[in-house]
Chain A
Amino acid sequence: MSSVDTGVIVLILSAVSLLLLIGVTVSMDEGSLTPGRIGVLFLGVIVVPCLSLTFGVGAAMDEAKRVGFCGTRCHEMAPFYEDLRSPESETLAAIHYQNRYILEDQCYSCHTNYTMFGPMEAKVAGLMHIWNHYAGHSEKPIKLKGEYRIANCLHCHGESKRYRESHTELLAEIENGDMSCLICHGQIHPQQDAKVDQ
């Protein structure tokens, strides 16, 4: 199911939920609560709104994966987003983006660890970025927290015939983590101005 479909479902469910909530609230009276009425209340106040919220969280998470969300909604990411789309750019990220080596959600695909809790860690890191922005803690140049995991590169490239044939001598070192792809493969993102963003 595409995220567009999810968005439409969420909007329909939200409209139904709000109508039910208004209807239930207006029709409530001090009379006795029969099992039938309790069932209607339960459906209108709990079941349908919770279903709508569940779909809503999924749609919000999908939206947060998009390159446009990272690049146009966060001011700190604007130079990286512009670089991705710039025809003159030769950074590794731009090459991956412009040639569609990664079909969609390119930021998310490279910056989320392919581990059990990777997506959750990425969301928590995103929340911290927002906190840092609004609390005035964001600094330039922005830095990646910790070291970049080469396993994320190998997730796509690791079993590629072209990669394996052209890296025969380095395969063991790369896979053991003794050698980083970033040593040889140039500039990943554009250089940033070294000034504090307040």
Chain B
Amino acid sequence: MKRLRLAAGFMAMAILAMLACLLFHSPLMMVLFLTIGPACAGIAVLLFATGLNVRFGDRE
């Protein structure tokens, strides 16, 4: 459950970075969004998958 909350937190961070970029129209914010956004979203997906104990590949 802790990982799922962390996943939600990271995804919220990505959304906030995007909103900052779109509201301020600043090149620096754009760079931060384009770097932090995908990184946070990727970490969130990983945390979500591991938090649910999703297993990839053959279980044997």
A interface residues, Cβ below 8 angstroms from B: 7, 10-11, 14, 17-18, 21-22, 24-25, 28-30, 33, 38, 41-42, 44-46, 49-50, 52-53, 56-57, 59-60, 63-64, 69, 73-74, 126-127, 130, 134
Q: Which of A22, A24, A30, A53 has the most CB of B within 10 A?
A: A53
B8 touches A45 (CB 8 A): yes
Say how far A18's CB is from chain B's closest CB, in angstroms. 6
B22 touches A59 (CB 8 A): yes
Distance, CA A57 to CA B22, complexed state (A):
9
Q: Which of B14, B25, B27, B38 has the most CB of A within 10 A?
A: B27
Contacts of A21 in B (CB 8 A): 8, 11-12, 15
Distance, CA A29 to CA B22, complexed state (A):
34
**Which secondary structure dominates chain B's binding surface?**
helix
Distance, CA A53 to CA B35, complexed state (A):
12
A45 touches B25 (CB 8 A): no
Q: A18-B12, A28-B4 are known contacts. Are A73 and B37 too (CB-CB below 8 A)?
A: no
A56 touches B33 (CB 8 A): yes
* 9 A-B pairs with C-beta separation under 8 A: A7-B22, A18-B16, A21-B15, A28-B1, A41-B48, A53-B15, A56-B18, A60-B21, A73-B25
Number of interchain pairs (Cβ within 8 Å): 93
A57 touches B15 (CB 8 A): no
Interface size on B, residues (CB 8 A): 30
Say how far A41's CB is from chain B's closest CB, in angstroms. 6
Q: Known contacts A22-B12, A25-B5, A63-B30; can you find 11 more A-B pairs with CB under 8 A?
A: A7-B22, A21-B8, A33-B52, A41-B4, A45-B4, A45-B7, A45-B8, A49-B12, A49-B15, A52-B15, A60-B33
